[in-house]
A and B are shown apart, each in its own frame.
Chain A
Amino acid sequence: MGYTLVYTQVLEFLPYLIKGAWISLQIAILAFFGGMFFGLILATVRTFGNNISNKIVICYVTFFTNTPQLVQIYFLFFALPEFGILLSPYIAVLLGMTLNAAAYLCEIQRAGFLSIRQNELDAAKTLNFSLFQQVKYVILPHIMRVLFPPLSNHYIIMTLGTSMAAIFGVEELTGRAFNINSETFRSVEIFSITALIYIVITFIATFLLAIIGRYFFKAKIRIIQ
């Protein structure tokens, strides 16, 4: 092996990479909360809707959970312009990830709805809880406790999934690593540092989520799997 690791040259780019990581984080957070919102609507329709609306949601979820996310974003990026809808790479990735997340988060949130215990709601009603109080004291704490672990996991998966944006030229963390690589050809150093930054981001997120989950929702979450 004739390759010697030289980190000095690459370390100059650290601030540049960290700014990229910030963009990755933005995409992950926006797509996650967008996905939560649409997923909640889909889960509500799926739980309480009629037959037809149910089928539409099932089709949506099946499509998005059974095709690669990359293909979905390609479709948005390259096929939509044919219909006169032009999306910037950033928006295409964000939209693609949001739609994809909506499908997964719909299923997760639906499982939460289904786990609500009628027994407890009966008790709450006979104790004269208003609907708002039922949601506040019984439904939400229960749903958050059940849903927090799978939602946290999905958020982490999405954070890592943002690296797909590089393919479309978005200058997030991986995109910036590509840029530095083509300038310096220090691939091993660059991608090891990039991987490390991803680990730091996900570790911080996991840690924060575990603390929030444990102390606010009594969810059973382990910090290290």
Chain B
Amino acid sequence: MPQIKIKSINAFYEKLHVLKNIELNVSKGEIVSLIGPSGSGKSSLLKMLVGLLIPKSGKIYLNENLVNFKNQSDLRTIREQIAIVFQQYNLFQNMNVLKNVCIAPTKIQKRDPKEVNEQALNLLEKVGLKDKLKSYPDELSGGQQQRVAIARALCLNPQILLLDEITSALDPELVKEVLDSIRLLASEGMTMLIVSHEMNFVKEVSSRVVFMDEGSIIEINNPRNIFEKPKEKRTLDFVSKILKEK
């Protein structure tokens, strides 16, 4: 029984047909990576799952429940279960690091501020930002902001985590740490959808890899096959180009 079931989804920005007939099932605890050229719709697919891009047709089931994107309470329900780390981090510029992480758990989830604070400190320590608690996002580097965004997402204790290009702004050592935390979270049953350009990362963590191009899913395969013997020529072209760039 898939936790997320995406059935023939089509979505548009004005006239641009950005998601074409998307079909994807993700089981609980799975780590699915999305790869594909720039502009292929990877971020859009993640945004669609948190209701920032409303599909024009198709169906999405979350834990077997059909999601009605026009219904506020359905939107609230999916957003309670799915957390996203945006490609541009999207931190609140007027709040310091700690506040960015704590605001939703305390004000929206109405959890005990003390307990939230403790979890936030714990998470921020894990991502190496313990000495930046009082800094504002514009005082942080891209990689630091990204780690704040990761901590903010994790502090929500989501069932499903969407990570958009989380390795792009991170140092190699941090990539390893993030990778370790992701594995740990997955082993605890958290489901993850990860967009990444970092092929080694994808190979290491994913249970399955989805290759997207021009708004369509071209191929879904296991991480070994997709890099070594992909089924589709377009996948092969993309993968070999990426590997050559290295």
Knowing A129-B108, A133-B107, A137-B103, the reply to whether A123 touches B80 (Cβ < 8 A) is no
Set of chain A residues within 8 Å of B52, measured between Cβ atoms: 122, 125-126
Give Cα A124–Cα B86 distance, bound, in whole angstroms.
12
Do B107 and A123 have beta carbons less than 8 Å apart? no
Chain B 60-95 per-residue mask, 1 if CB under 8 angstroms from chain A, else 0: 000000000000000010011011101010111111
Chain A residue nearest to B49 (CB atoms) is: A126
Q: How far is the CB of A113 from chain B (nearest CB, A)?
A: 16
Verify if A145 is at the interface (C-beta below 8 Å from B).
yes
Q: How far is the CB of B138 from chain A (nearest CB, A)?
A: 11
Q: How far is the CB of B97 from chain A (nearest CB, A)?
A: 14
Size of the B side of the interface (Cβ < 8 Å), in residues, is 23
Give Cα A129–Cα B82 distance, bound, in whole angstroms.
14
Q: How far is the CB of A205 from chain B (nearest CB, A)?
A: 25
Size of the A side of the interface (Cβ < 8 Å), in residues, is 18
Do B94 and A142 have beta carbons less than 8 Å apart? yes
Give Cα A141–Cα B80 distance, bound, in whole angstroms.
25
Do B108 and A127 have beta carbons less than 8 Å apart? yes
Do B94 and A218 have beta carbons less than 8 Å apart? yes
Please indicate which of the listed interface residues A119, A127, A137 has the most CB atoms of chain B within 10 Å of its own CB: A127
Verify if A9 is at the interface (C-beta below 8 Å from B).
no
Do A128 and B104 have beta carbons less than 8 Å apart? yes
Please indicate which of the listed interface residues B47, B90, B93 has the most CB atoms of chain A within 10 Å of its own CB: B90
- Ordered by A's residue number, 8 sampled pairs between the chains whose C-beta atoms are within 8 Å are A119-B88, A120-B92, A122-B86, A122-B90, A123-B91, A125-B52, A127-B108, A137-B92
Binding site for B on A (CB under 8 A): 117, 119-120, 122-129, 133, 137-138, 141-142, 145, 218
Given A122-B52, A128-B108, A138-B92; 7 other pairs, CB 8 A cutoff: A117-B93, A123-B92, A126-B51, A127-B79, A129-B104, A137-B95, A137-B107
